[in-house]
Amino acid sequence: MKRRDFIKSLPLGVAAAAVPFSIGGLFSGKAFGRSPALDVLLNAQGNSNNVLVLINLQGGNDGLNTVIPFQDPQYDINRKDVGYYTPSEKALLTPFQLRGDLALNPPLGTDFYNMFKDGKLAVLQNVGYSNPNRSHFRATDIWNSASDSELVVFTGWMGRYLETQVPENYPIDIGSSPDPLAIAIDYSTSLVFQGSRSVMASAVIDPSKYNAAQNYADDTPPNTNAGNELQFVRGILTQSDKYGKRFKDVFALPGATQNTVTYPTTNPLAVQLQKVAWCIKAGLQTRVYFVSLGGFDTHVSQYTKDPTQGQGLLHTYLGEAISLFQKDIENMNVADNVIGMTYSEFGRRVNQNGSLGTDHGTSAPMFLFGKEINGEVYGHNPKLDAADLDVYGDLVEQFDFRQVYASILTQWFGIDDYLRKSILNKPEFTSVSDFQSPTDGFKFPVNGSGTMQNIIRNPVPMSVSQNGSLAFNLYQNQPNPFPGITTIKFALSEGGPVLLEVFDGRGSLVKTLVNGYRSRGENQVIFDGLALPSGTYYCRIAFNGKTQTRSMTLTK
Amino acid sequence: MDRRLFLKSLGVTAAGAAISEASDSFATTHVASGIPSEHLRQPSRSRETIASSDLSPWNPSTTQPWDVHTINHLYRRAGFGATLGEIYAITRGIVVQTPSQVVDNLLRDSLLLQPTVPPIPGNADDGKTPSLPPAWLRVPPYVYNDPIKIQTDYANANMKIRSHWTVQMNQPEVMLREKLVLFWMNHFVVEAKKVYYPQSMYSLLTYFRQNAWGNFKKMVSDVTISPAMLIYLDGVLNAGSAPNENYARELQELFTMGVVDKNGNPNYTQDDVEGIAHALTGWTVDAQAPPPDVLPSKYEVTRHDSSFQKIYDGVKRQYNLTASGASMDMDLIDHIFDQRGDQIAWYICSKLYQYFVYHDVSGDSEKAVIGAMADLFKSSNWELKPVLSALLKSAHFFDEANIGAEIKSPYDHLIGLLRTFEIPINELSAGSLYFYAVGGSQILLDPPNVKGWPGYHSWISTTTLPYRGIIETLLVFSNKSLPAVGTDGYGNAHLPINLPQEADLVKWGKQFDNYSGTFDDMLSELGTYLCAHTPSATALKYIKGQFPPQTYEWNLLDDSTKVKALLGMATALMLLADYQLC
């Protein structure tokens, strides 16, 4: 049940904001003492129970041999020995055609292809970013942190999103959700979940066999390197303890670990998605799942065509795991709120190397799948002519990967413009209509016939705080009028990213006073107008998608 | 504020031209874009000022004596921990060993030359029938005509190498050497699942054992043409005019200089990658060589592309490795070290610093120490020993802020447990310990990728941390024969551990000062020994509360009750977050 529906079902007949007890407490058995306004705020920033499954293809999946532009003569020239489909073999691609000149690599399988036929699989072509990095690790970090190529960012895009959903001292206070916000089916989590204060995901190999650990120290660690690390380990202990108890309850229920399809144990991706299916079926309020498949670094013997080795085998795993997972959650009637997305740090070079393989390249296709995905091919085919390639002879991106992230954040998680802007390090992506290809003016997303189309069939309405005035307040500056220096205070009902700016009488930006995370409660900042002419100025706060403005008078 | 300082204050490191004039508008755009500056910074860290930011030696003092706390620190960082006996021998004046003497002792060159018996052929996993030919390291692959047999033998051989390696780590005399073997195997990464030949894996492992603190430049040359590396990063396929860039890229990115220098400027271009790939063509592995030289590397001139390459400095030259014996303008490794010496020194010293002192090197004091290490590294002509010796003896290394700031790796944790409780292992029993390391996600010979285990925070997750607790409890409470722990979630069953003999716990317990003292003092002493810092009063109070009150009358308890209580205390203390730090 969605939380909002749950609130509606309460026989109180009052607005959610007036529910006089902690909703979180009902779920976790513990009252957190948070005001109703805060819960409204939290709900407002993530009211859907939509789920995203991230599938990370590690090593750099060769895009040209995944979604194959088989009619392009340059493909024939560049890929002669890398699982290349010779003219006589091209008939093999016919049952996998996405359109006349484009086909899925057959080892991905008929079931996977049928997801496209059924309109549940979107193929996004030529996704990358400018000045692409060819290092596995740097490129992986760029994708996970959603940073520009040149900028090192230490948080992940999902971490930045998810930390808007929890109290500031998470995970010591895990907030109102009894379940992890994100689960990585792995031994450790990924940069994609790193928030500015803590890791926003829990690593779990098998939630049904989870052994919890416990934290029973509550003193404040010293303010040293060692103290910081102690606090980190304690946070993990707390997560393990709280979520572990919940896993134990959930997976003790009969049938909790039954699926409606058989996931082959030999398929390393399928065994992970099987566990994701359990969690979704169990009704965990987890928003994001992370699974991964390694081995795509095909410098040697790529074997694209062979479903039993090399890239061909990996595509067998990929297509089989995704199609089984989709079938499973549909059979269990829990597929409506689930989409998946594949991503890899880069595609391979256009021209094969001398070892029957391909080296590190640039842009590549992504897959998005689910009942709510508008299954289409988005974008033109990779442009393989020498004149269209970059200086190293590699593909030039058509879409920036953050355009895809932006679509998911807005259309699937329903976050507003302001928050998206702060989550994605890409200020120019200010609204959906601005998602324009940086290289060729192509609008995004654009379907096969060239018209704008949402990737999500029924985008979640962009949420705004239902009772925004309760969520924050900008006080009148003191003193006012002021001779040069004045103090501006504002209160937040929950920590989050704040933008506080001063404009002059013409509406031009004079100064940015705050641009970053501020904590719950009262905050203040000094405004120095000594160098400015007398007159009326406007102070504007933007928080959680809403703004509030006050005028101030400078009299010298 | 100066833009550069401004960027720095954000914790932004930028590749390419980002920290340059061209970056100004770029940086401003980002800052004005609504990205909270927290996202451009390492997760929060604030701490006391670090006392010393150079390599000046540490001298014990009354405020920071050479005691259980500091001895433990050195033994845990330069090895895998100290036994009670080793610590009390020093603190009770039974042996006289200054910190500097301990380091010198660990860095004796004779330890490198000390022959180690290669892995024995017996089946290390179950102690049953040997399944490998006795001279398995000298059996060339071509004698096998049964593809199943070769796979079984090689899987067994890898298990034997792991057991053998685990036993080496547990030997106190060579603990620093083994700590460095782990470091180098995680620096010049090779993965058994790709290299395939255990002979080649073992040969590289042995190389690092013999050169643990040798000459780094020579190490780069040797590793470049080591059979394991030639196979792992496709050197064996790098031939002719269509070279394979795999090794050429990682040689720069991971093995020598990193993607960017300390100021964020790129260290190399795609052209340099291609140039080096061309220069290294022609090296391969001879799978047909007769014993005793099994799977040697060799240079084939016909596979070499002798075309002129521009690498770094825009001058076209013919490059090769001196070891090829072919005519050329310049040795490639000489050229790399000539052109990128500063960057190499900084990169390698940063990694050593992270491994031995603290992971986060973004602070000024860390950078100052790394700078001093890098200067010493270059002036020592790439010898590693002077750098390691200076670092491990330094006041910075012993700074209280850095003690307990590292997160134990699974092998720090596992070997540390064995040493703490003096649980003996041998090559047969060590095989089953492998399965415990699987649960901690550190499988020797099989790091996750060419960058190796990322370490640090990645060691601790909601999966691995509870698992460590299980290992601790099992090892302490049933120290001879451990039951299987179940599966690791991938379906790998964990075999029981069969330890060769039981630890003598009464003897162990009697070593403590407070074995005949009070409950509180005993708990505190044990906490100080087990953890990097004495655990907090609230934690100790909580632990005490778990015990029945009659145990508080510590001096009235008999030995067997005391030992039982001691193990209970130890288990509770090890479940604290503090125990995972070193």
Residues of A in contact with B406 (CB under 8 A): 229
B407 lies within 8 A of chain A by CB: yes
CATH (residue range A471-554): 2.60.40.1930
Backbone angles phi, psi at A503, to 5 degrees: -115, 155
Report the candidate in B209, B182, B197 with the shortest Cα–Cα distance to residue B117.
B209
**DSSP-derived 3-state class of residue A138:** helix
From the CA atom positions of chain A, what is the Rg in Å?
25
Do B145 and B294 have their domain in common?
Answer: yes
Record: contact B489-A189, CB cut-off 8 A: no
**pLDDT < 50: residue spans in chain B:** 1-48, 123-130, 479-496, 500
Strand order in the sheet with A546-554: A509-518, A496-503, A535-543, A546-554
Residues B298-324 as b/e (b if ≥16 CB within 10 A, e otherwise) read ebeeeebbbeebebbeeeebbbbbeeb
Record: contact A150-B535, CB cut-off 8 A: no
Domain residue spans in chain A? Answer: 45-434, 471-554
Record: contact B47-A209, CB cut-off 8 A: no
Which of B32, B460, B536 is closest, CB to CB, to A236? Answer: B460
- Which one-letter amino acid corresponds to residue B511? Q
Given this model, what pLDDT does residue A164 score?
A: 77
Do B131 and B239 have their domain in common?
Answer: yes
- Distance between CA atoms of residues B553 and B548, nearest Å: 10
Residues in CB range of B291: below 8 A, 6 or more apart: B138, B139, B140
Numbers of helices and strands, H then E, in chain B:
24, 8
User: Which residue of chain A is at minimal alpha-carbon distance from B363?
Assistant: A225
Given this model, what pLDDT does residue A474 score?
A: 80
Do B205 and B101 have their domain in common?
Answer: no
Count of A-B CB contacts under 8 Å: 260
How far apart are the CA of B115 and the nearest CA of chain A, in angstroms? 36
Q: Concatenated DSSP letters for A379-431?
A: SPPP--SGGGS-TTS-PPPSEEHHHHHHHIIIIIS---HHHHHHHSS-TT--S
Do B86 and B190 have their domain in common?
Answer: no
- Distance between CA atoms of residues B521 and B525, nearest Å: 6
- Distance between CA atoms of residues B551 and B426, nearest Å: 36
**Rounded alpha-carbon distances, angstroms, from residue B155 to A263, A313, B61, B162, B485:** 27, 22, 52, 11, 22
C-alpha of A395 from chain center:
25
B356 lies within 8 A of chain A by CB: no
Percent of all residues in chain A with a pLDDT value above 70, rounded to a whole number: 82
Restricting to A residues 292-311, those with a Cβ less than 8 Å away from any Cβ of B are 294, 297, 299-300
Kindly report the three-state secondary structure assignment for every residue of A150-210. CECCCCCHHHHHHHHHCCCCCCCCCCCCCCCCEEECCCCCCHHHECCCCECCEECCCHHHC
Report the candidate in A367, A396, A381 with the shortest Cα–Cα distance to residue A455.
A367
**Rounded alpha-carbon distances, angstroms, from residue A445 to A89, A156, A380, A404:** 33, 23, 12, 8
Given this model, what pLDDT does residue A551 score?
A: 82
A266 lies within 8 A of chain B by CB: no
**Rounded alpha-carbon distances, angstroms, from residue A274 to A212, A263, A427, B320:** 21, 7, 37, 51
B464 lies within 8 A of chain A by CB: yes
User: Which residue of chain A is at minimal alpha-carbon distance from B545?
Assistant: A216
Parent domain of B554: 505-580
Record: contact A213-B26, CB cut-off 8 A: no
Restricting to A residues 444-483, those with a Cβ less than 8 Å away from any Cβ of B are none
Given this model, what pLDDT does residue A445 score?
A: 61
Record: contact A229-B406, CB cut-off 8 A: yes
Could you tell me whether strands B497-498 and B481-482 are parallel, antiparallel, or unpaired per DSSP bridges? antiparallel
Give A147-198 pLDDT, tens digit per residue. Answer: 888 777 888 999 988 887 777 678 777 776 788 999 999 888 889 999 877 8
Restricting to B residues 2-21, those with a Cβ less than 8 Å away from any Cβ of A are 11-18
A134 lies within 8 A of chain B by CB: yes
Residues of A in contact with B461 (CB under 8 A): 186-189, 202-203, 236
Do B125 and B89 have their domain in common?
Answer: no
Do B230 and B159 have their domain in common?
Answer: yes
B51 lies within 8 A of chain A by CB: no
Lowest mean pLDDT among A60-74, A318-332, A488-502, B400-414: A488-502
Give A344-396 pLDDT, tens digit per residue. Answer: 999 999 999 888 899 999 999 999 999 999 898 988 899 999 999 998 899 99
Do B191 and B257 have their domain in common?
Answer: yes
Record: contact A226-B29, CB cut-off 8 A: no
Do B34 and B75 have their domain in common?
Answer: no
DSSP state of A373: B
For the segment A234-255, the average pLDDT, to the nearest whole number, is: 89
For the segment A458-463, the average pLDDT, to the nearest whole number, is: 66
CATH (residue range A45-434): 3.40.720
Q: Which of B268, B462, B485 best tests the A interface by mutation, with the highest count of A CBs <10 A? A: B462
User: For chain B, how many structural domains are there in total?
Assistant: 4
For the segment A414-428, the average pLDDT, to the nearest whole number, is: 66
Do B179 and B225 have their domain in common?
Answer: yes
Q: Which of A183, A198, A225, A251 best tests the B interface by mutation, with the highest count of B CBs <10 A? A: A225
User: Which residue of chain B is at minimal alpha-carbon distance from A352?
Assistant: B242
Does a structural domain hold residue B17? yes
**Rounded alpha-carbon distances, angstroms, from residue A282 to A84, A256, A279, B489, B525:** 44, 7, 5, 19, 46
Record: contact B39-A244, CB cut-off 8 A: no
Could you tell me whether strands A67-68 and B330-331 are parallel, antiparallel, or unpaired per DSSP bridges? unpaired
Residues of B in contact with A226 (CB under 8 A): 400-405, 532-533, 581
For the segment A544-554, the average pLDDT, to the nearest whole number, is: 78
Record: contact B38-A516, CB cut-off 8 A: yes
- Distance between CA atoms of residues B498 and B479, nearest Å: 9
How far apart are the CA of B246 and the nearest CA of chain A, in angstroms? 7
Given this model, what pLDDT does residue A48 score?
A: 55
Pair B275, B208: CB distance under 8 Å: no
Record: contact B489-A240, CB cut-off 8 A: no
Record: contact B405-A237, CB cut-off 8 A: no
What are B92's two structure tokens? 């009770």
The answer to whether the predicted template modeling score (pTM) of the entire model surpasses 0.80 is no
Higher pLDDT, B571 or A277: A277
Does a structural domain hold residue B420? no
B538 lies within 8 A of chain A by CB: yes
- Which one-letter amino acid corresponds to residue B556? L
Given this model, what pLDDT does residue B1 score?
A: 34
Given this model, what pLDDT does residue A428 score?
A: 54
Record: contact B30-A216, CB cut-off 8 A: no
Do B95 and B124 have their domain in common?
Answer: no
Q: Give the 3-state secondary structure percentages of chain B, helix then strand then coil, rounded to 5.
A: 55, 5, 40
Which of A58, A213, A224 is closest, CB to CB, to B401? Answer: A224
Q: Which of A157, A224, A238 best tests the B interface by mutation, with the highest count of B CBs <10 A? A: A224
Does a structural domain hold residue B569? yes
Do B99 and B128 have their domain in common?
Answer: no
Of A80-94, A463-477, B247-261, give the range with the top mean pLDDT.
B247-261
What are A193's two structure tokens? 């979940």
Give B511-536 pLDDT, tens digit per residue. Answer: 999 999 999 999 999 999 999 999 99
* Domain-terminating residue out of B57, B81, B105: B105
Give A90-146 pLDDT, tens digit per residue. Answer: 889 999 999 999 999 999 999 999 999 999 999 999 999 989 999 898 899 999 999
Does a structural domain hold residue B366? no
Do B218 and B266 have their domain in common?
Answer: yes
Record: contact B43-A198, CB cut-off 8 A: yes
How far apart are the CA of B240 and the nearest CA of chain A, in angstroms? 8
Residues in CB range of A355: below 8 A, 6 or more apart: A299, A300, A301, B234, B237, B238, B244
Given this model, what pLDDT does residue B522 score?
A: 96
Given this model, what pLDDT does residue B17 score?
A: 28
B488 lies within 8 A of chain A by CB: yes
Percent of all residues in chain A with a pLDDT value above 90, rounded to a whole number: 41
